[in-house]
Structure formats: C-alpha cells, structure tokens
Structure 1
C-alpha cells in the first residue's frame, strides 16, 4: 500500500513484490487551504461504486508529483477503511476532514493484457458500470479468459485510451 498527499509533501512507503520497502523523499506542495474541491483541486479524478479508483491524474499536479496513478484503488483515507465506499461517499467524507489534504492509502493492481479477438470477432466478455467499467462475465476459454481477464476486473483503458462513459 502507498500513502500519499500529506501537507508537508508525500509520505510514500512502497513495497515491491519481493517485500523490500523504500521510503520516498519529502517535498513541499502548493495546496488548496481546504478540501472543498477534493479531489479535483489536487489534480485527480475518482470513479467506482465501491471500491473507488483513481481515473485520471493531471500532469504536474500535487497528485501527479505524489505518484498517484490511474487505476490505483483507494483503500483508506486518514487511516479509515474506505474500500466499500462509492466515489460520491468517499468525496463527501474527504471534504469534511480537517487535514488538508487528507492522507490517502492506495494499492495498484493494474495489469496490462493483450486480447486478440476470436474467429467470430468477439473477445468473450461483457462489461457493466460507468467509471470504471467492470467485467461482469468472462468466458474462461474465450480470448479474454485465456489472456487472464476475470469477472470483477476493471477495464481502465483500451489501446492506450482511458475508458470513459457519458
């Protein structure tokens, strides 16, 4: 898990798959005085119905400098578990907190997979939701299933283009 966006800068504890940890350097961020427009005022957007995910990060923003990445799952805010909160509920909670900006914990579970359509031109999965899109069903022996996609996965981008619905 990574922690981001403390007032002084960032506190980040990264854990690699091998279990080694490295602490990141602190730096000063010019930040808004309140959480009124969180998360946009800090340079990122959220989506999801519980859990919530980072959908986009503005290059050069405090979120960008802190290392937040599209696809990161928000797991806690100021030490409070938020894995089951919808995005509107998470934003409402963050905007009530006194710490500016609130410290958030995220985990990255992003994997890139390549899926070649089958002979019928289909990929073998269905999606639901809006931002992010969730894989509702995936045929295990279909092109997507053989590539490692599973029901419950989220699709963040296709061919390098972030997935957004209107």
Structure 2
C-alpha cells in the first residue's frame, strides 16, 4: 500500500507474561473435600481379604454398597482389575479415577488383580447377593411350551 511505501505503517507489539503465582493461588477454587468426606465411615464396607501376590494389592479398598474404591501406594503401577462373580467367571471392570482412588462401578464377591505374572484375588467378605423384592421379575409358575419367538420360528405361543 501507499502507506507502506512512505513508511507510515505502525505495528502493534504486545507482551504477555504469565500471571503472578500468588494471584493464581488466591483466585483458585477451594480444594474439594477428600474421599473420606464423601463416604462417611458408617457407609463403608472394609471387610476385604486377599490371596496371592501382595505386590498387586491396594493399600486401601472399601465399597459403599454400589461402588468399590481402590487406592494403591504412591508410585505403584496399577494392575488390571477384573470382577469375579459367584460362578468364578471374570469380567472386565468399568472404572473411573477420583483423586487417589480407582473407583469400580460395581460391588463384587471378589476382584482379580493382575500385573504381569503377579496375581491376587481380593475377596469382599461382606458381599451379599442382591435379593429379589416385590418389584423384581418373578419366576414363572410353569416352563414355557414350545419354541418362543424371537429364538424359535414363528410367533410367541401363549
């Protein structure tokens, strides 16, 4: 442009510095309460025992009746965690991290912890099989007759 040719161009220069650490600390939200404040002691099941390799066992484990909380020592690698049902079958565990805890979205009779060749079974000694109540599906009075749709051919039979 003509302004560039005449040397009338003005550039804007801005410096951005990181915020002062003291100001950042002052504006930070208050720390969230620890897991101990979230799950009061009276709602915890601490009755867990184990067999097998102690190197895979967490330093803390408990459940609140619907989820199981695991915490390993700082710096320890976390093993793969599987739930073991009453039929001894193992299934992968869905979990999330909450602070220092790995939280499984279930309570199980036992958990299998595997890291390399090290294996431990962590038993929930207070596990109770969920009971059926009036709102639960009820057993049939008689066995169904003949093939049933969608597994058999044709329509469902009364």
| TM-score between the two structures when normalised by the length of structure 2 | 0.25
| TM-score between the two structures when normalised by the length of structure 1 | 0.24
